[in-house]
Amino acid sequence: MKRDFLAVSDLSRDEIDHLLQRAAALKSGKDARACPLIGRSIGLLFEKSSTRTRVSFEVGIYQLGAQSIYLTPKDIQIGRGETIHDTAKVLSRYLDAIVMRTFSHETVSEFATHASIPVINGLSDLHHPCQALGDLLTILERKGRLRGIRLAYVGDGNNVANSLIEASAIMGIEFTMACPKGYEPPPDILDRAKALTGRDVKIVRDPKEAVKGADAVYTDVWVSMGQEKEASQRNRKFKKYQVNTALLSVAGEEAIVLHCLPAHRGEEITDEVMDGAQSVVFDQAENRLHTQKALLEFLVAGAVRESN
Ligand code: CP
Ligand code: NVA
């Protein structure tokens, strides 16, 4: 049976632990020359722009011995009305896995339903699970553990927040979020997290309340891809939710600052914090590469082993 990775909750706690250990080993250079995907082809079908996800996947795929094929809807017949269903069936006959970046989450989940190859969500409007894996490795590297870490997320209840909520619930991270009313994560994300932890996800209005004593402070853009028309309203609503030196001063002394990037410097985060000593944002970006290589080994090389 093929495995997909559409949301963090598609993996168990043990599987995530295994991926993080494997990613750390790959990062340290262990098995640097192993090419478990030699001769394989992995597609990247992207509806939205990307710097980190595209490049880290393409480089990781090459390092594992496979080739990547980058596609946008304009390049293929999907842009002229061929169905997701038919495209999934056809691409499954050529490719060994596909990474997708979509607007609607339904697009990637419908594709996964009809594809016979592993489908990896490289960001949809609802989830960004590959980002969360890189985030977990970054927190683990800096803090030495995940369980009991106090993570404060300041900003929009978006795809990045949703995946962090799931990752936190599974890995035992104490997650608190500060956001304006009306910008909370969707109820089903909150319900699923509650089912795992037995507690409501803590959501507060005051960013200082969320950040007080935190081990890690996370933020993301106020206007995600596809929300450009809401930009002026969102910029107004989120004004008080900037991660700046004053806000960071209420976090734990050793607190780290995370951002999935791209950042809108001067909006959700200041230059001072982004470039400050507590910022780990570029480690996070690097860790996308190592965690995604571990994920590809697990989903694709694992599948290859089973079919041989
Ligand atoms: N963090 C992230 O996914 O960045 P990109 O949009 O550049 O891929
Ligand atoms: N929330 C952002 C994340 C980008 C990596 C967006 O969806 O645009």
What is the Rg, in whole angstroms, of the alpha carbon atoms belonging to the chain?
A: 19
Spatial separation of the C-alpha atoms in residues 153 and 159, rounded to whole Å: 12
Residue 176 has what pLDDT? 98
Spatial separation of the C-alpha atoms in residues 61 and 246, rounded to whole Å: 41
How many alpha carbons lie under 13 Å from residue 243 in its C-beta half-sphere?
37
Q: What is the mean pLDDT of the chain?
A: 96
Ligand 1 pocket, residues with Cβ under 6 angstroms? 50-53, 123, 131, 260-262
Q: Compute, in angstroms, the gap from residue 140 CA to the centroid of ligand 1.
A: 21
Quick check: helix, strand or coil at residue 307?
A: helix
pLDDT, tens only, 243-297: 999 999 999 899 999 999 999 999 999 999 999 999 999 999 999 999 999 999 9
What ligand 2 atom has the least distance to the C-alpha of 156?
1
**Nearest CA-CA partner of 290 in 36, 20, 97, 8:** 20
Q: Compute, in angstroms, the gap from residue 89 CA to the centroid of ligand 2.
A: 28
| Mean pLDDT of the region 32-59 | 95
Pocket test of ligand 2: the residue of 159, 223, 268 to mutate, having most ligand atoms within 8 Å of its CB, is 159
Predicted confidence (pLDDT) at residue 63 exceeds the cutoff of 90: yes
Q: How confident is the model at residue 29 (pLDDT cuts 50, 70, 90)?
A: very high
| Mean pLDDT of the region 88-98 | 98
pLDDT, tens only, 120-158: 999 999 999 999 999 999 999 999 999 999 999 999 999
Residue 308 has what pLDDT? 43
Q: How confident is the model at residue 303 (pLDDT cuts 50, 70, 90)?
A: low
* Residue type, position 232, single letter: S
| Mean pLDDT of the region 32-57 | 94
Predicted confidence (pLDDT) at residue 92 exceeds the cutoff of 50: yes
| Mean pLDDT of the region 226-230 | 98
| Mean pLDDT of the region 29-41 | 88
C-alpha of 226 from chain center? 17
Angle at 299 between CA 2 and CA 306, to 5 degrees: 60
67-71/256-259 β-pairing: unpaired
State the alpha helices, DSSP H only, in 125-218: 129-143, 159-171, 187-197, 207-211
Peptide bond into 129 cis (omega under 30): no
Ligand 2 pocket, residues with Cβ under 6 angstroms? 123, 158-160, 220-221, 224-225, 260
Dihedrals φ, ψ of 147, to 5°?
Answer: -60, 130
Residue 31 has what pLDDT? 77
* CATH level 3 topology of 130-285: Rossmann fold (3.40.50)
What is the longest distance spanned by two Cα atoms in the chain? 57
- Which of 3.20.20.140, 3.40.50.1370, 3.40.50.720, 3.30.870.10 would CATH assign to domain 8-128+288-307? 3.40.50.1370
Pocket test of ligand 1: the residue of 46, 100, 221, 261 to mutate, having most ligand atoms within 8 Å of its CB, is 261
Residue 297 has what pLDDT? 96
Quick check: helix, strand or coil at residue 112?
A: helix
> Other C-beta atoms within 10 Å of 62: how many?
14
Predicted confidence (pLDDT) at residue 305 exceeds the cutoff of 70: no
Domain ranges of the chain: 8-128+288-307, 130-285
- pLDDT > 90 fraction of the chain, expressed in percent and rounded: 95
pLDDT, tens only, 164-207: 999 999 999 999 999 999 999 999 999 999 999 999 999 999 99
